[in-house]
Amino acid sequence: MKIDFKTLRADFPLLKQTNRGKPLVYLDNSATNQKPRCVIDAISHYYTHDNANIHRGVYELSERATREYEKTRVTIKSFINAKHAHEIVFVRGATEGINLVAQSYGRTHFKVLDEIMISTMEHHSNIVPWQMLADQVGANLRIIPITDDGEIDMDAYQKLFTERTKMVAIAHASNALGTVNPIKEMIRIAHTHDVPVLVDGAQAFPHMPVDVQDLDCDFYVFSSHKAYGPTGIGVLYGKEKLLESMPPYQGGGDMIESVTFAKTTYNKVPFRFEAGTPDIAGVIGFGVALAYLKNIGMDNIAAHEQELLNYATQKLSAIPELKIIGVAKNKVGVISFVLKDVHPHDIGTVLDAHGIAIRAGHHCAMPVMERFQLPATVRASFGLYNNTADIDALVTGLQEVQRIFK
Amino acid sequence: MAGLRELYQEVIVDHSKHPRNFGELDNPTFRKDGFNPLCGDKLTLTISENNNVIEQIRFQGCGCAISVASASLMSEALQGKSRTEINAIFHDFHQLVTQGHNTILEIRLGKLAILAGVAEYPARVKCATLAWHTLNAAITGDTKQVSTE
Ligand SMILES: Cc1ncc(COP(=O)(O)O)c(C=O)c1O
């Protein structure tokens, strides 16, 4: 089916507004993306008609809320081709998913001098939870280096394995460079050493088809708000066997089987990890976002965004004194760049005045900035509703930047 | 767009490209680092003081145009001023860049008033005030690292 991406833009009410008096050109999709009308309506519908607490009411309303909530779990299971719906754990976002694995899996399975492998290009949320864990259990972090193009150094990766390696935690796609990592191959290699792999899919899940069984990853995390769904909700996928081996992350309601002051027994997976009342509306809204994406087709979205990436790479490369940071062969629609003698924050402010929303800064990936010896970069990142006119506006804005700072 | 042209007017761009008093003093009375984690702006101030008068200010570091221009303009404006005068100027300057145009403040601040346009861009106020907070910490003997966060 041929999708007309131009017409899809009309599904996103927020994009109709202006930014500092100019039509909004939203190119900060890696930070979060805008929501289609159907998602906004679903949340409003839920609070208007279906709101009740889940998994506990004996009345129809609560059963309906529970059914809608659990339906999303099944939607996600099919979306990423997990084997079982109970391998889908609802969390607040990719960040909480990683913290959950670090604290629940890591604290019970790692000991002094064990090693956790992450890469130079990780988002802080795939660094700090492991650092905290390493401090708690006396483990060490091992860092997989990246090349000047912004790709994983695969030789170095293979050589980093020791008998103490207990986990590899790696981004599927980098938010700072756009690099798509060869995670299937990396997982295969890790498994030859019997090491489980957590994949941070925050920047990949919204932009390409993901099949967790094909990848054979042990954990996969992502956030709804970067995939056209509401904020405050995300997913931890974990293989059944691993989730079963993990103690609860937080204590509270819903995660228990029975409680006495002498002893509490825990609920089964995934409820064991979902203490307290979750973001029910968020989960339901996310289910609607996924149905929306499925209808368009992740393959189509990936192809559309690759076209934008190619167009933007070509246009930006033609700007004198502009340097693209991260030129991996396989990238998502993310372009980080710097302009000679103009600080990214000044570029951001000038673009803002032209209605263009981009990100300027270290993108929560300070080790990447250090690797490339830069204080910051400018980042444009694309979503399904962007088109070449957005990129043309960016180019015009950058020409204005160069005029001001000539 | 008027706001943009005001923010990046020629004097500011000029000071950012050719900062005045750039460098380090050999025997400073005070030395202080300032850091803006949001932008990655970093600067080091060296200051010489004599009889409660700030005689010389030098700064070094890297940052966005607003933070460099502000440090440069500050160094020009404050050399030769007493601590009391500096306090008053800092107070006026802070009010101007956070609240925007104000004729009385602008008259009192003179050349420094060209940074008034920053007020329209709240995310950039930290850039404009980094050097000032650093100077304030240096002369009041605050030993914590200056960070705008
Ligand atoms: C690669 C990557 N991982 C993790 C995260 C964290 O996502 P969240 O803040 O939604 O938990 C982000 C967000 O920017 C990201 O880009």
pLDDT of residue A263: 85
pLDDT digits (tens, 9 = 90+) for B129-138: 999 999 999 9
Asked whether residue A50 falls in the same domain as residue A149, the answer is yes
Tens of pLDDT along A198-249? 999 999 999 999 999 999 999 999 999 999 999 999 999 999 999 999 999 9
The stretch A283-312 carries a mean pLDDT of 98
Contact between residue A245 and residue A268 where contact means Cβ atoms under 8 Å apart: no
What local confidence, expressed as pLDDT, does residue A259 receive? 87
**pLDDT at position B149, please?**
63
> Is A21 domain-assigned?
no
Cα of A352 vs centre of ligand 1, distance in Å, is: 23
Q: In chain A, pLDDT over 90 holds for what percent of residues?
A: 90
Grade residue B2 by pLDDT with cuts at 50, 70 and 90: low
Output the six-digit token pair for A158.
Answer: 């293979």
Residue A262 pLDDT class (50, 70, 90 cuts): confident
Domain containing A270 — which CATH number? 3.40.640.10
Share of chain A above pLDDT 70, in %: 100
As a whole number, the mean pLDDT across chain A is 96
Residues A224 and A246 in one domain: yes
**CB within 6 Å of ligand 1 — which residues?**
A 30, 93-95, 123, 125-126, 171, 175, 200, 202-203, 223, 225, 364
Residues A297, A43 contacting (CB under 8 angstroms): no
Rg (CA), chain B: 14
The pLDDT score that the predictor gives to residue B1 is 60
pTM score: 0.93
The single residue of A208, A364, A368, A394 carrying the catalytic annotation is A364
- Among A359, A376, A396, smallest CA distance to B1 is for A396
With cut-offs at 50, 70 and 90, classify the pLDDT of residue B36: confident
State which of A295, A324, A356 marks the end of a domain. A295
**Residues in chain A within 8 Å Cβ distance of B13:** 404-405
DSSP state letter for A48: I
Q: Do residues A244 and A338 both lie within one domain?
A: no
Q: For ligand 1, atom 9, name the residue with the nearest CA.
A: A95
Q: Are residues A240 and A259 in the same domain?
A: yes
Range of the domain at A354: 298-405
Same domain, A268 and A336: no
Residue A12 has pLDDT above 90, yes or no: yes
Query: Distance between CA atoms of A400 and B8, rounded to whole angstroms?
Result: 12
Q: What residues in B contact A21, CB-CB < 8 Å?
A: 1
**How many other CB atoms are found less than 10 A from the CB of residue A248?**
19
- Same-domain check for residues A200 and A305: no
* Chain A residue numbers touching B65 (CB-CB < 8 A): 342-343, 346, 405
* Residues B49-68: tens digit of each pLDDT: 999 999 999 999 989 999 99
Contact state of B64 with A346 under an 8 Å Cβ cutoff: yes
Q: Which helix (H) or strand (E) holds A325?
A: strand A322-325
DSSP B109-133: HGGGGGGGGGGG-GGGHHHHHHHHH
Residue pair A186/A158 in contact (Cβ under 8 Å)? The answer is no
**Is B122 part of the contact surface with chain A (CB cutoff 8 Å)?**
no
Residue where one domain finishes, among candidates A264, A295, A326: A295
CB atoms closer than 10 angstroms to residue B94: 17
**Tens digits of per-residue pLDDT, B104-118?**
999 999 999 999 999
Q: CB distance from B121 to chain A under 8 Å?
A: yes
Please report the domains of chain B, with CATH numbers, ordered by start residue.
Answer: 2-147 (3.90.1010.10)
Residue A62 lies in a domain: yes
Residue indicated by tokens 């995934």: A270
Do A374 and A289 lie in one domain? The reply is no
Q: Do A349 and B17 touch (CB under 8 A)?
A: no
Flag whether residue A349 sits within 8 Å of chain B, measured between CB atoms: yes
A38 assigned to active site: no
Same domain, A249 and A274: yes
Interface of A with B in 19-38 (CB under 8 A): 20-21
Question: Minimal Cα distance from B127: which residue of A?
Answer: A345
Q: Is residue A386 part of a domain?
A: yes
The number of folded domains in chain A is 2
Of A274, A295, A316, the position where a domain reaches its end is A295
**Do residue A240 and residue A376 come from a single domain?**
no
Look at residue A264 in the predicted model and tell me its pLDDT.
84
A319 and A272 within one domain: no
Identify the pLDDT of residue B93. 97
* Domain of residue A369, CATH code: 3.90.1150.10
- For residue B38, pLDDT over 80 is answered with no
Q: How far apart are CA A72 and CA A195, in angstroms?
A: 30
CB-based contact (8 Å) between B64 and chain A?
yes
What would the two tokens of residue A230 be?
């509401």
